[in-house]
Amino acid sequence: MSGPAARAREVAILGAGAMGSALATPFRDSGWGVRLWGTWLDDHLLAACRAGELHPRTGVPLAPGTRLFDAPDLDAALHGAELVVLAVASGGVEEVARRAAHGLGNARAVLLTSKGFAPDMDGRIRLLPDAVRAAVAERGVALPPVVAVGGPCKANEVAAGRPTAAVFAAADAQLAADVAKSVATPGYRAESSGDEAGVEICAPMKNVYAIALGVADGRSERDGAPWHDLKAAVFARAVRELMLLTEVVGGHTDTAVGLAGAGDLEVTGLSGRNKVYGTRIGRGERADAALAAMRAAEQTVEGVPAAGLAARLVDRRAPQIWPRLPLLRAVRAILADEDDPVELLVEAALPAH
């Protein structure tokens, strides 16, 4: 990196949950000074890290040398940071952005790992970078370039330094490439892209579709027999719908079949929280009961709100494509307990002709 790279490189990571804490590993390994700030909901996570315990969300120790900041110390965490990473759950992104607005405005770039959608006051469904820009603008601050961070990155593996392939995307593709290079390590590899919108639509939608993949796994567990063919068909249908939705928001379809789309869907369908939620439904739990149990265990299932917001996005931007989104319709019906979840997936992924 040129210019700012001549100064001591400091990154502020906002959000001490799984991914925020995990990213301390590649940043520290690539020579960055890391400040990890915890929200008002993260006190217990910071306490565990200060006690030298494994991080409660990743099961991996925090990267040595990471400096910890409590919620009241946001300004101190941001002061002088060249990069800022927003790594809070999607529901808290706008509030954290407002509180951090002036610090964000002084950064070279803002990296966004949160996955979701954000409706505006008129009910329009925005991708998260647009929501963050608007939240910061409320404080009279112009947001620096946003770098959307996606790809098949499980937080526990990132934290442990295992091989990980990420995607860094920004409207300024060269900036995305520069930032990706500055964080690269032998284990953490990141490709760059100019398709911010494509990465940002794939991020929440792979959570939605991972619920469906989990349903097939849950039925396998319940029956003691594999439902792998159905899961594979659901995966293929999900990728087709990711391509279609990427076009709706002005992204590139190759993003949907690359790391940010198919790649992230694959890993989330193996072990992510959204897959686990779908597995519980496939085993026979009601959708609402399964969600309540996971919330009680502090396990966020972001695919649930994302499914509803995605439906509203389609309604407003491209209602004519609904016939080409049978899997999204099926997931919505599964979440509403409308019918047998496997039968809904069969009809969506294996349509009769």
Q: What is the DSSP letter of 108?
A: S
CA 239: distance to chain centroid?
17
Given this model, what pLDDT does residue 272 score?
A: 86
Give start and end residues of each alpha helix (H) in 30-99. 43-50, 74-78, 93-99
Given this model, what pLDDT does residue 1 score?
A: 43
Percent over 70 (pLDDT), the chain: 97
206 is catalytic: yes
**What six digits make up the tokens of 73?**
């110390």
Given this model, what pLDDT does residue 347 score?
A: 97
Predicted confidence (pLDDT) per residue in 6-54, tens digit? 455 999 999 999 999 999 999 999 999 999 999 999 999 999 999 999 9
Q: What is the DSSP letter of 72?
A: G
Task: Report the distance separating Cα 154 and Cα 10, nearest Å.
Answer: 24
Query: Which segments of the chain have a pLDDT < 50?
Result: 1-6
Task: Report the distance separating Cα 309 and Cα 149, nearest Å.
Answer: 21
Q: Which of 115, 154, 206, 275 is catalytic?
A: 206
**What's the topology of domain 3-194?**
Rossmann fold (3.40.50)
Task: Please give the sequence-ordered ranges of beta strands (E in DSSP) within the chain, or none if there are none.
Answer: 10-14, 33-37, 67-69, 83-86, 109-112, 117-119, 125-127, 146-150, 164-169, 188-193
Domain extents in the chain:
3-194, 198-349
Predicted confidence (pLDDT) per residue in 68-84, tens digit? 999 999 999 999 999 99
Which CATH code fits 198-349? Answer: 1.10.1040.10
**What six digits make up the tokens of 197?**
């919108």
Given this model, what pLDDT does residue 219 score?
A: 97
**What six digits make up the tokens of 327?**
């899997």
Give the Cβ contact number of residue 336 at 10 Å.
11
Cβ-count burial 67-106 (b if 16+ within 10 Å, e if not): ebbbbeebeebbeebbbbbbbbbbebbbebbbbbbebbbe
